[in-house]
Chain A
Amino acid sequence: EDQVTQSPEALRLQEGESSSLNCSYTVSGLRGLFWYRQDPGKGPEFLFTLYSAGEEKEKERLKATLTKKESFLHITAPKPEDSATYLCAVENRDDKIIFGKGTRLHILP
């Protein structure tokens, strides 16, 4: 069965303390991996799509990378406004989208 596991469930960092969030996946024929940011009380906001191992995408302090088994969302020198839940999702060969349960990130000033 296709599945997506995100770790850690929650992460507290000091402002400026860089770290990485993990998204491990088991999927039949990966067609794409997606990262979203979700603020409390709002819908997810699309961040990145990655299609193949070795691919990287960057946006401000965020960089997403992809291997054959997992993806990392690296956060460099985070600021309090980066606090949110980060969701990972994969699309399999049958066009099914499977979401992970997310990592709650809290950046302390």
Chain B
Amino acid sequence: DAGVIQSPRHEVTEMGQEVTLRCKPISGHDYLFWYRQTMMRGLELLIYFNNNVPIDDSGMPEDRFSAKMPNASFSTLKIQPSEPRDSAVYFCASSFPGLAGAPRFFGPGTRLTVL
């Protein structure tokens, strides 16, 4: 298996633009997580899905952020409009069926820079 796949790996955009990050979890995993990592705040959970259903989105910063999981093999995290304070590394992660708790497999991340 190729592991968790994220695209793009790097994104540079200007303030006010829409940004879409993409994730393909490991086949057969039914938990999918979106995390954000910064030096100041460390790793923060934004949202997680179980069987394509959002379970906890309390970490989503504000209405500018939205996440979808239309099927078991694809998820998106959208920021509209983007702001400089959104600059961070965004990770997608997935876990085995029935295994809640901390995610087991992380993707390589998307480094987002908002100018």
Residues 15-62 (chain B) with a chain A CB within 8 angstroms: 42-45, 56
B interface size (C-beta, 8 A): 18
A31: CB under 8 A from chain B? yes
A interface size (C-beta, 8 A): 20
Q: Which chain B positions have C-beta within 8 A of A95?
A: 56, 100-101
Closest-by-CB residue of A relative to B95 is A46
A45-B42 contact given A32-B101, A95-B101, CB 8 Å threshold: no
Task: Contact check, B101 vs A43: say whether CB atoms are below 8 A apart.
Answer: no
A86: CB under 8 A from chain B? no
Q: Which chain A positions have C-beta within 8 A of B91?
A: 43-44
Task: Contact check, B102 vs A42: say whether CB atoms are below 8 A apart.
Answer: no
A89-B102 contact given A43-B4, A97-B45, CB 8 Å threshold: yes
Chain B residues within CB distance 8 Å of chain A: 4, 42-45, 56, 91, 93, 100-109
Chain A residues within CB distance 8 Å of chain B: 31-32, 34, 41-46, 49, 87, 89, 91, 95-97, 99-102
